[in-house]
Amino acid sequence: MVIRKLFALSRRRFVPSGRRSASTDAADALSIKGAAPSLAKPPVMPYDRLVQAVRSKIKKLDDPDPRFLRHASPQPALADHTAILTAPETRVTTLPNGLRVATESTLASRTATVGVWIDAGSRFETDETNGTAHFLEHMIFKGTESRTVRQLEEEIENMGGHLNAYTSREQTTYYAKVLDKDVPKALEILADILQNSSFDGKRIERERDVILREMEEVENQTQEVIFDHLHATAFQYTPLGRTILGPAQNIKTITKEHLKNYISTHYTAPRMVISAAGAVKHDNLVELVKNLFPKLSNDPTTASQLAAREPAVFTGSEVRIIDDDIPLAQFAVAFSGASWTDPDSIALMVMQSMLGSWDKNSGGGKHMGSELIQRVAINEIAESVMAFNTNYKDTGLFGVYAVAKPDCLDDLAYAIMHEISKLSYKVSEDDVTRARNQLKSSLQLHIDGSSPIAEDIGRQILTYGRRIPVAELFARIDAVDASTVKRVANRFIFDQDVALAAMGPIQTLPDYNWFRRRTYLLRY
C-alpha cells in the first residue's frame, strides 16, 4: 500500500517555478474556492512596498529610458580643440622694481579691462588685524590726496566705465573696465588710489557701519557661511582658517595706521601684477606703468615666504550648527587638496568634473555622466550638490557641498562618500574622457570677455609666475587617465582625514567617525 502511494506521487508532473499547467490551475481554483479565509493571499506589507520602490529606482538607474539613449553618447570621444588653441600671446614685462606688466591684446575689440592683482589677502594678517585687507578694499575708493570721493565717482561715470575690487584669502584685486581710449585714464586712477589714498577719519568711522552691515548680509548667505566654517575647522590655528571680513571686534578697532601699515607691508612691487586684456597695446601700457607707479616699495619678501612662516596645516575635524528654524540642511565634506603648483592639481580638477554639480531647479540629472548626480537625482535625496576644488599656495580643499531635506541626509551622505571613495578603486576611461571634455569647455567658457581674461592673467602670474598657454593646459588635462585618477585619489582620499561643516536641521547627519570610516572600502 505504501509502495503504491509513493509510485503515484512519483508520477506527478513537475512544474517549474513560475510555470503552471492548466490542470494545476484548475485544481488550485477548486481548492481555493472551498478553502478557509486563512489560506487567502497575504496582504502586501509597507516594507514590501518600500523594497519594490527601491528596486524600481535601481532598475531605472541600470536600465535608463531608451528614448533618451537615442540622443546620448555612451562612448564619449576625446574632443578636438585645435581650433581654439591659437589664443593671442600673453606678453609679460618685469620692471626694475619687480612690478610685472602682463597683457593680452585683442585689437578687434573696442573695450579693455586693466587692473592691479596683488599677492595679499586675509591670510597675511594677524589675529589682531584680521579684516584689514577687506577694510582697505572699501577705503581705497574713498578719496585720495588729489581727488574727493565725488570727483572719483564722477570721473568713472563720465567715462562710462566700471571700477570694482574684491578680496580673497590670498589675493586682492582692483580693476576697471573702460573703452579703449580711456585705458590711460583708468590706469592713472588705479595708480592714484593705490598710492595716494587719504583715509579720512570720518570716512573710516562711516565705513565701519557699512562693513558691519555687510557682515550681517553675509550671515544670510548660507553657502558663504558654510565655507567659512569649513576653512575655520580644516585650517584651525592657522591664518588660512580666518575669515575674509574678520571678527566684528576688529572692524570696530581698525585705524588709519593699520591701513597704511598694511599697504606699506604688502602692497609691494614684486607682489603686484598690472594685468590688461582687450584693446590694449603692451609697449604703451609698460611706459604708462613706469610713470604712474613710482611710490611702490621694493621689499623682495614674497607671499610664498610669508606663507611658509605660518603654513596651513589641515586638521581632520568638524563643526556643526544645529538650527531647526532653517527648512533645509546643508553640509560640506572636504579632504586636504593640492596647491596651485602641485603636479596633481590638474587631476583633481578632472575628478571635480567627474563628481559634477547639480541643482534641483535646473532639471536633468538622471542622465548626466556623473554617477553621483544620477544617484542623487533618481532617488531625489538632495536639493543641490556641488563638487569643489579650492587651491592655495601650499594646500587646498577638495570635496562636495550639498543642500537637502533633513530626512534625506543619511542617504545623501552615503551616496557622496561612496562615489568619492570609489575614485580610488573603480574608474572607467569613458568617465574620465567625458570629464576632460567638460573641464576644457568650462575653462574656455570662463574666460569669455576682457575682464575674465585679465583676471586669469593676473591670477596665474601670481600663482605660477607665468601664464600657462592653452595648448599646454589642455595637454596636461588630456594626460589624465583612469590610472592617474586612481593614483591621485589614493593620495588625497583613501583613508585620509576629512573636514566637515554642517548647518541647519542636521540631527540625522551621520557623525564624524561615520564619514572617516567611509574614506575607504572594505574588500576581500
Return per-residue pLDDT of the chain as tens, 524 residues. Answer: 444 443 444 444 444 444 444 444 444 444 444 444 445 666 767 777 877 887 777 666 555 555 555 555 566 777 666 666 667 889 999 999 999 999 999 878 899 999 999 999 999 998 898 999 999 999 999 989 889 999 999 999 999 999 999 999 999 999 999 999 999 999 999 999 999 998 888 899 999 999 999 999 988 899 999 999 999 999 999 999 999 999 999 999 999 999 999 999 999 999 999 999 999 999 999 999 999 998 888 888 888 888 888 899 999 999 999 999 999 999 999 999 999 999 999 999 999 999 999 998 877 777 788 899 999 998 899 999 999 999 999 999 999 999 999 999 999 999 999 999 999 999 999 999 999 999 999 998 898 889 999 999 999 999 999 999 888 999 999 999 999 999 999 999 999 999 999 999 999 999 999 999 999 987 64
In angstroms, the first-to-last Cα distance of the chain is 56
Which one-letter DSSP state was computed for residue 269?
G
419 is catalytic: no
Three-class DSSP category at 126: coil
User: Taking a C-beta distance cutoff of 8 angstroms, is the pair 383, 223 a contact?
Assistant: no
495 alpha carbon, distance to own chain's centre: 22
| Catalytic residue selected from 104, 207, 371, 419 | 207
d(CA 53, CA 457): 52
User: Taking a C-beta distance cutoff of 8 angstroms, is the pair 192, 121 a contact?
Assistant: no
User: Taking a C-beta distance cutoff of 8 angstroms, is the pair 373, 356 a contact?
Assistant: yes
Phi and psi (nearest 5°) for 64? -70, 170
224 is catalytic: no
d(CA 245, CA 500): 22
Q: What is the pTM of this model?
A: 0.83
Q: Which cell numbers in the block locate residue 163?
A: 571700477
d(CA 184, CA 3): 113
User: Taking a C-beta distance cutoff of 8 angstroms, is the pair 383, 360 a contact?
Assistant: yes
| Catalytic residue selected from 104, 125, 137, 318 | 137
